[in-house]
Amino acid sequence: MRNYLVTFSRIVLDGAGRDRHVVQRRAVIRSRSEVTAAWEAKALFCKAAGIADWRMRADTCEVAELADMAA
């Protein structure tokens, strides 16, 4: 199993009219794949926020594999 960092962000416009990603929540998930890590993180986000769909609070969900620190 691998560790993944799942980041949920809301996209907002700054004063210059450029898109900015504002982090809403991050979670480290231990999973077999990126897909299952994303599903688990989405479920945790919904439960923690008390919402039915994570897209009510975020526009993007990005999954990145974390490097294995054991060497």
Tens-place pLDDT, residues 18-44? 999 999 999 999 999 999 999 999 999
Residue 70 pLDDT class (50, 70, 90 cuts): low
Specify whether domain 2-65 bears CATH 3.40.50: no
Extended strands (E) in the chain: 2-13, 19-31, 60-65
**CB neighbours of 60 closer than 8 A, spacing ≥ 6?**
7, 8, 9, 11, 21
Average pLDDT, the chain: 94
| Residue 42: strand, helix, or coil | helix
Q: Would the pTM count as exceeding 0.85?
A: yes
- What's the pLDDT at 62? 97
69 — pLDDT class (breaks 50, 70, 90): low
Q: First CA to last CA across the chain, in angstroms?
A: 16
